[in-house]
Structure 1
Amino acid sequence: MASALAEVGISDAAHLKSLLKETKNPVVTIYDFEKQNRINLVSLNPALPLLDLHNVTRNEFYQSVFDQMKLVFERRIDDFSKKSKEDRNDALLKILDKAFPLASDPLLQPFVMRMLSKLESIPQDKLEKIMADPVLYQNAPIDVRRHIWLSKPDLFRDEVQELVKQFVDDVEHQVSNFVVDSCPVLKNPREKRANCKILKKIVGMTSGNKDLYDNAVLAIKTAFTTTQLHAQPFVASLRSGLLMALHDSEFKDILRRDEVYKFAWCMDACIRANAIDEKQRRELTTALNGIKKSETIIDAALILFDPSCVNLILLELETELRQILKVQGFPKGSEKIDFLMRMLRIGTSAPEMAVENSTSEPNLDRSIISRLLKRV
């Protein structure tokens, strides 16, 4: 495969190798090759023998020149940022028209990618060429790939699903090696988010873009349906994890349209407090009723299927039942028991709801409260 330099008519190492295979006088061939491809400045010629006397090889010299040019070019790119949007884009596009064919060259690739990342809108033909080259695509910075993802949402969702798989593998490893008193799944949610590299990466990929956020949520839901049951709670935790990670970041404005935002935020506060007080119960009930009407109950189910949520609900159930037993009451008369059982029912129904693509809240078997809990 021809190198990026060869494709634009510049001799490269492969060309020299080809010449050496055919020549009978390699010394002359190397001399001619160097003469044709060196820096042709009249003022430089007298200095080259001096460099030879100091044992400075041509490779060292050219590398030094390249390093200096690199610094100059980086400053020039930064200077473009000071121009108006229109002038900056015009200037960068003019350079890119000549530089982009060299994007696959390892030495020049960083410059090309840096210029692309400065553009408000990258021309589609350049995005197509990046997508067509797997190595170039993988080396492209997120700022550049984000332009691709906006035009190719399927590609973005595939990447998020791969990250979800990595997340599940990481959590399963942690769970299988946890110390009894410090289960990583049940840590403070804010602490978990701060330490989760996968979640940070997904947040960085969305970068506050509503379309990418929606596609990230869709990817999490898709991954949830294809994940084995024992690992589904971990995937479910990413639904609220992503939402709350964005809430903690500078991109929280994109969450206003998310139907489960208030519910997830309130539930997160309860988990951090390790309790659900009366005010929070009313807020969660109101939010849950609103979600039910908007037919996004599966999102609420994923939030409630998070191991931290299930753990809190069960702890609250135990506490409430103990209080009822103290006064010799009955569970079926407790509004909080009804509320907690409703949330537990929704959360534990998440796998079935995801498969069936359900938009309605699952019914709660009242006999669980009137018969089973009565015997606890």
Structure 2
Amino acid sequence: MSADYTPTDLENQGIAGPNKLRELLTTCEDPIDAIKSFQQSNSIQLPTLNPALKLLDLHGVRRFEYHEIVLNEVTERLLIRLRSLGEANDKKSQKLLEQQLEKSFALYRVPQIRPVVLEALKQLPKVPDRYLKVILADPEFYKSCSVKVRQQIWLKNDALFVAAVEPLLDAYVNKKEKMLRNVDCGGMATFFVSETTKARRQWTEI
């Protein structure tokens, strides 16, 4: 099971969190000013947003809701960008993907950051071993990765490959056995052509 995300994950990367705020409040002279300063330092720094924020205040939209919407929008745009880099499949795009992964991988346990990490991993033609080792050590993270990423781990770990493929093979065999039991002896000749190749491709095990 993956270790739960904690604010320390962010703070270890230089991003202020509750521990930083707690420290600030225990050492300041004016808590109100300290909180305002903390909010100002860690908010979206775009002067053109100030009029919009005042309008949102009038409509009762909380800052948390506003930042959550912005985060979701930015995340979606970033995912689209990562996919386009993967489709480009050239050295420049690969370099950009590697840079993005380098910046975000340490925060893979943060729920809001994980989709970006997973997409960057998926779009890289070859994931560096240092990342694969971390993925391998975290079962929950491993399961979240795309098949493309897990395949690179399977090349180095036969046991995980068998564990991934065995249930699919068992399900395929069980389905065939069930079909066989439903065919009487007189229809045995038609058993192996009872389904077209196209139909079998729709099976989840294929």
Mark yes or no: TM-score above 0.5: yes
Aligned to 1:117: 122
The residue type paired with residue 203 of structure 2 is C
Matched, 1:48 2:50: no
* 1:169 to 1:73, Cα distance in 2 relative to 1, 3 A: same
Deviations 1:129-183 (A, max 9, x none): 1111222111111121111112222211122234456x28975xx96xx9x9679
By how many angstroms is 1:98 displaced? 1.0
Whether the aligned pair in 2 keeps the contact of 1:149 and 1:155 (CA below 8 Å) is yes
CA distance in 2, matches of 1:104, 1:26: 31
Aligned to 1:137: 142
5+ unaligned residues in a row in structure 1: which ranges?
201-376
Question: Helix, strand or coil: the match of 2:155?
Answer: helix
CA distance in 1, matches of 2:113, 2:174: 36
By how many angstroms is 1:193 displaced? 3.3
CA distance in 2, matches of 1:170, 1:16: 57
Aligned to 1:105: 110
Whether the aligned pair in 2 keeps the contact of 1:116 and 1:122 (CA below 8 Å) is yes
Whether the aligned pair in 2 keeps the contact of 1:113 and 1:144 (CA below 8 Å) is no
CA distance in 2, matches of 1:107, 1:117: 17
Alignment counterpart, residue 80 of structure 1, candidates 76, 85, 89: 85
Aligned to 1:64: 69
The residue type paired with residue 36 of structure 1 is S
Whether the aligned pair in 1 keeps the contact of 2:107 and 2:114 (CA below 8 Å) is yes
Alignment counterpart, residue 203 of structure 2, candidates 189, 196, 201: 196
Question: Helix, strand or coil: the match of 2:11?
Answer: helix
Matched, 1:15 2:36: no
Question: Helix, strand or coil: the match of 1:51?
Answer: helix
* 1:161 to 1:18, Cα distance in 2 relative to 1, 3 A: farther
* 1:53 to 1:157, Cα distance in 2 relative to 1, 3 A: same
CA distance in 2, matches of 1:30, 1:169: 63
* 1:119 to 1:53, Cα distance in 2 relative to 1, 3 A: same
Question: Helix, strand or coil: the match of 2:48?
Answer: coil
CA distance in 2, matches of 1:168, 1:74: 34
* 1:34 to 1:154, Cα distance in 2 relative to 1, 3 A: same
Aligned to 1:157: 162
Q: How does 1:303-342 map to 2 (within 5 A)?
A: none
By how many angstroms is 1:38 displaced? 1.0
CA distance in 2, matches of 1:195, 1:84: 29
5+ unaligned residues in a row in structure 2: which ranges?
185-190
By how many angstroms is 1:53 displaced? 0.9
By how many angstroms is 1:112 displaced? 1.6
* 1:83 to 1:32, Cα distance in 2 relative to 1, 3 A: same
When the two chains are superposed, the root-mean-square deviation of aligned CA atoms in Å is 3.8
Whether the aligned pair in 1 keeps the contact of 2:132 and 2:153 (CA below 8 Å) is yes
* 1:164 to 1:51, Cα distance in 2 relative to 1, 3 A: same
By how many angstroms is 1:46 displaced? 4.1
Q: Percent identity?
A: 28
By how many angstroms is 1:43 displaced? 2.8
CA distance in 2, matches of 1:87, 1:116: 16
CA distance in 2, matches of 1:189, 1:158: 28
CA distance in 2, matches of 1:19, 1:169: 61
Q: How does 1:177-256 map to 2 (within 5 A)?
A: 188-190=194-196, 193-194=200-201, 196-197=203-204, 199-200=205-206
CA distance in 2, matches of 1:168, 1:22: 63
CA distance in 1, matches of 2:156, 2:89: 26
* 1:87 to 1:170, Cα distance in 2 relative to 1, 3 A: same
CA distance in 1, matches of 2:115, 2:122: 10
Count of matched residue positions in the alignment of Structure 1 and Structure 2: 191
* 1:32 to 1:170, Cα distance in 2 relative to 1, 3 A: farther
